[in-house]
């Protein structure tokens, strides 16, 4: 992709991930104000990953009449936005988006052994936001312990080991004292 196309495409795709507004269809000013107000109220990232723009540089796909009202068409696409924020080392944004994920989805399947989305976020922010990582791992270990299952205890133990390393790095015990 030519370099002069990358920035508008990136902004348009991020806007779509955040709001569901297609980048190839201009956004009316009133709609932009409603979206901005909604994003602030719901606790999105500290600063937007994109800004609304109407100069989509790619050719028309012919999908303007595509149906978008299916059950899977919900925004923001928090999992993808978290992954992008982690990749870009924007840990504040990753935590802000993670806070919007329902807890039943945060630790669940889909990310392999290691704690689902919660484990991914905790690993990514453990250096810059150790207390947030510790909170995530604590919740995850408690969730495993209440399963009352030997395999779950092993998983909980792995989270506790991760916590122990962070506490040791911070030179403090679980109580927070030095």
* DSSP reduced 3-state for 34: helix
Written as one string, the DSSP assignment of 84-113 is: HHHHTT-HHHHHHHHHTS-HHHHSSSSS-T
Q: Is residue 62 part of a domain?
A: no
Residues 97 and 155 in one domain: yes
Find out whether 47 and 82 touch, Cβ atoms under 8 Å.
no
Pair 25, 101 in one domain: no
- The answer to which of 31-40, 70-79, 124-133 has the lowest mean pLDDT is 31-40
Could you tell me if 20 and 96 lie in one domain? Answer: no
The verdict on residue 53 lying in a domain is no
pLDDT, greater one: 3 or 19: 19
pTM of the model as a whole: 0.73
- The rounded Cα 136 to chain-centroid distance in angstroms is 14
Is residue 57 assigned to a domain? no
Q: What is the pLDDT of residues 122-145, one digit of tens each?
A: 999 999 999 999 999 999 999 999
pLDDT digits 0-9 by tens, 152-173 = 999 999 999 999 999 999 987 6
Domain span at residue 85? 78-169
The number of distinct structural domains making up the chain is 2
């Amino acid at each position: 992709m030519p370099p002069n196309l990358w920035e508008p495409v990136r902004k348009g795709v991020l806007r779509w991930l955040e709001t569901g507004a297609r980048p190839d269809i201009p956004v009316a000013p009133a709609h932009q104000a409603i979206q901005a107000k909604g994003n602030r109220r719901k606790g999105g990232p500290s600063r937007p990953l994109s800004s609304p723009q109407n100069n989509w540089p790619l050719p028309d796909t012919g999908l303007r009449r595509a149906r978008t009202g299916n059950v899977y068409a919900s925004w923001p696409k928090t999992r993808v936005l978290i992954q992008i924020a982690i990749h870009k080392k924007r840990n504040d944004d990753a935590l802000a988006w993670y806070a919007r994920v329902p807890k039943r989805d945060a630790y669940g399947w889909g990310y392999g052994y290691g704690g689902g989305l919660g484990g991914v976020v905790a690993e990514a922010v453990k250096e810059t936001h150790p207390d947030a990582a510790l909170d995530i791992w604590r919740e995850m270990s408690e969730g495993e312990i209440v399963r009352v299952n030997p395999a779950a205890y092993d998983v909980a133990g792995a989270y506790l080991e991760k916590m122990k390393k962070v506490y040791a790095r911070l030179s403090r015990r679980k109580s927070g004292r030095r």
